[in-house]
Structure 1
Amino acid sequence: MTREMAAQPLPLARECPLTPPAEYARLRAENPVSPLALPGGGTGWLVTRFEDVAAALVDPAVSAQRKFQTTVSAVTLTAEEWQASGFGTSFIGMDPPEHTRYRRMLTGQFTVRRLKELTPRIEQIVDKHVDAMIAAGPPADLVRDFAEPVPSLVICELLGMPYADSKQFQRHADAMQRFERTKEELLTAMTGMATYMRALVQEKRDHPDDGLISGLIRATPEDGVPLTDDELVATGNLLMIAGYATTANMIGMGALALLTHREQWEVLRDHPETIERGVEEMLRYLSVGPFGLPRTAKADTEIGGQRIRAGDPIVLSIESANRDPAQFESPDVLDVTRQPKRHLGFAYGAHQCLGQQLARLEMRIAFGTLTRRLPQLRLTVPAEQIPMRSDMQIYGPYELPVTW
């Protein structure tokens, strides 16, 4: 049972860029389901242990509907503004059975066959960017020259979107993630993305191809009702942001972790057969989501012995859960040879990340290629001088100055 304590803000202060806030260790030991002070006012619950987070992710009484603010941004949108933004029909904030309808349609698009066909193209994209870095000569910025453009190109390839148009998407996505932006800036970014995606949907209706957007247009849900343009726009925007921003920052974080744990880089370099385990370990050890997964109790329930009332806000900390010593031996040690064990890097249950196999594939190819073709890759500045995206909702390095 959680002992009584005053509601505290979400832990955010880091002693090391790669390490979750130290407060999480204390909370797991003493108050695994603790009162949380929300930035928008009011209180909720912060869940920090692996077992409790995993259980909450499959608890039918815990809803994915986003009814409260979890970030430190002072800007919030009304329900009407959210609906008008082009993101209002995004299924990420829905529960079954509404969520299931979209989930099944998208699962049919992320097939083994599609990933197999995409693999040579990902290899080409990765090699092309390594070629360009080598041709330009050191030093380089591994974020600008590799971690950002590679997943951007891959998601464009998947969706059937011209890569030249991805730059404006990146600008809009960055504006949406910043804490210091006005409501006007936020809405401009959201509606800008939606306007472009709506034009792309129309283009795919007129000239279908083998991309995922065209696949969703052709698909027929179980209820027999095809997706509307609004639904296609919201889904396309979600896939673009998730496929670009999270993967780019995971590649950046993974590179920073390996280059500051040199012996782990050398294991992957000298034993390429360990790359699959290495990627799983990076997905466990690192997190680009410092604010956790927001949930709302839609019925009275219990998490970790704590009674939660219907309507209570809940935040599930993935980065804390993945460092839980009750689940992982020596969880604060990065070990690319670790025997893989279930982690929550892609969440769990009905909302487990649809693109997880694509993200794994990109990371395996990216790190396999970097360690093979640039075996002496190293940082040019101390790790503590790397600027981090602490002012953004998706965490990672702003830049990685490297040489070889």
Structure 2
Amino acid sequence: MSDNEFPLVQFMREGFDPVEELARIRTEQPVFPMEIPGGQVVYLVTRYEDVRAVLGDHERFSNDFGNVIGLGSNQEDPGGLGFRDPPEHTRLRKFLTPEFTMRRLRRLEPRVEDIVNEHLDRIEASDKPVDLVESFALPIPSLVVCELLGVPYDERSDFLKISKDRFDFTAGPEASLQAINDAMAFLTDLVVRERQNPGEGLLGQLIRDHGDELDDRTLASMADGLLVGGHDTSTSMLALGSLWLLENPDVAARVRDEDGYVVQVVEELLRYMSVVQVAFPRFAREDLDLFGTPIKKGEMVLCSLAAANRDPKLGDGIEQVLPDREVAGTHLAFGHGIHRCVGAPLAQMEMRIAYPALLRRFPTLRVDGEVPFRKLAIVYGVEKLPVAW
């Protein structure tokens, strides 16, 4: 296999599955050099243990956004905590971590259930077929983030539009930049008002507990990072997971009828789908040997979560969804190490509530039309999911 043979392979899928070339790279050249526009060489890491090692090594690898755009350390960026290094990453994450404990999240659980049921009511009252992305998978994560942050009820329709625009990349780079600016303006204004009168949401709690340590722009950036990390990914998982369950009625019946079975199904679907196909880029802090491949200081390393989560070394049947099978190792759908997704417990809770509720409300639900998958996507998913019952 020659260098640069598959420069976009890390973003490609065939249905639910990574393309065969990615598995071949994992076997034949697991640290794979690729030339990207501009002549820069990046290295794609694909084996489970190797990916886990890179993601867990913040001493030799940097996440700093300044490596991408040539700025100094820890400049303002579009990735929240994902593009920050210690000590700034450590400082900000310690503020967020307590808000994502299961004890804190249980306060949100009844509202998540209400949000799911409200959208199921609307689906039930609508004409068939229904696009499950537009009516279910897309709005639920936005409204859950509203609940989390403490967005006022009368502003949630505006937030839904901002959230949708934030992840619509079809209109080109200028529109995407404008959507980012609109989101930051909305969140900054929200922070200013929360500072005057802190509410019960996460922003209000952070201001009460740490208001003197966090300025308005930092709080807005943290909120935007939660939106980036928790919206499109959860939308994709809700849609892809629902599609898989509709295509696998035996598992769907157990999710519908057996309390608690959804927990292991969710974890297996997270591993299998790996909707975030590639982790935030890492940059070598020094010249190093990366599993037999020399890497120069400053060069970029990409970790393929999709390839790592399908590594045969994890166990038998890794190319299938087998909820009852024990997997050797922990899946990397939320990343690993200090940058593991801080909102993972909230995403898991959303899916554990949404899948059974959908299947119980519509036991005869079926796919009713073509399902177009995304192409060359960092976050994999479907464009629409037409269903009827």
TM-score normalised by length of structure 1: 0.88
What is the deviation of 1:169? 1.7
State the SS of the aligned residue for 1:117.
coil
2:214 matched to 1:216?
no
Q: Is residue 318–residue 345 contact of structure 1 (8 Å, CA) maintained in 2? A: yes
Q: Is residue 11–residue 378 contact of structure 2 (8 Å, CA) maintained in 1? A: no
Note closer, same or farther for the CA distance 1:25–1:180 as it changes in structure 2 (3 Å cut).
Answer: farther
What is the deviation of 1:309? 2.2
Give ranges in structure 1 of 5+ residues lacking alignment. 70-76
Q: Is residue 48–residue 308 contact of structure 2 (8 Å, CA) maintained in 1? A: yes
Note closer, same or farther for the CA distance 1:288–1:220 as it changes in structure 2 (3 Å cut).
Answer: same
**Residues 337-375 of structure 1, C-alpha deviation per residue, up to 9 Å, x if partnerless?**
333551000001100000000000000000121122222
Q: Partners in 1 of 2:104 and 2:116 — Cα distance? A: 18
Q: Is residue 201–residue 229 contact of structure 1 (8 Å, CA) maintained in 2? A: yes
Query: Where do residues 239-258 of structure 1 align in structure 2 (5 Å cutoff)?
Result: 239-258=226-245
Q: Is residue 233–residue 379 contact of structure 2 (8 Å, CA) maintained in 1? A: yes
Higher mean displacement: 323-332 or 43-52: 323-332
Hey, which bits of structure 1, 4+ residues long, moved more than 4 A?
12-15, 77-80
Query: Which amino acid counterpart does residue 125 of structure 2 have in structure 1?
Result: A
Partner of 1:61: 60
Give ranges in structure 2 of 5+ residues lacking alignment. none
2:356 matched to 1:371?
no
**Aligned pairs, number:** 382
What is the deviation of 1:228? 1.0
1:124 pairs with one of 114, 127, 134: 114
Give the CA RMSD over aligned residues: 2.4
Partner of 1:305: 292
Q: Partners in 2 of 1:113 and 1:313 — Cα distance? A: 38
Note closer, same or farther for the CA distance 1:393–1:28 as it changes in structure 2 (3 Å cut).
Answer: closer
1:271 pairs with one of 258, 263, 278: 258
Partner of 1:45: 43
Partner of 2:172: 181
2:157 matched to 1:164?
yes
Q: Is residue 11–residue 277 contact of structure 2 (8 Å, CA) maintained in 1? A: no
2:160 matched to 1:198?
no
Query: Where do residues 86-105 of structure 1 align in structure 2 (5 Å cutoff)?
Result: 87=77, 90-105=80-95
Q: Is residue 277–residue 338 contact of structure 1 (8 Å, CA) maintained in 2? A: no
Q: Is residue 264–residue 335 contact of structure 1 (8 Å, CA) maintained in 2? A: no
State the SS of the aligned residue for 1:302.
strand
1:389 pairs with one of 374, 377, 380: 374
2:317 matched to 1:330?
yes
2:18 matched to 1:20?
yes
TM-score normalised by length of structure 2: 0.91
Note closer, same or farther for the CA distance 1:89–1:238 as it changes in structure 2 (3 Å cut).
Answer: closer
What is the deviation of 1:219? 2.9
Q: Is residue 296–residue 312 contact of structure 1 (8 Å, CA) maintained in 2? A: yes
Note closer, same or farther for the CA distance 1:351–1:161 as it changes in structure 2 (3 Å cut).
Answer: same
What is the deviation of 1:240? 1.6
Query: Which amino acid counterpart does residue 246 of structure 2 have in structure 1?
Result: L
2:18 matched to 1:6?
no
Partner of 1:74: none
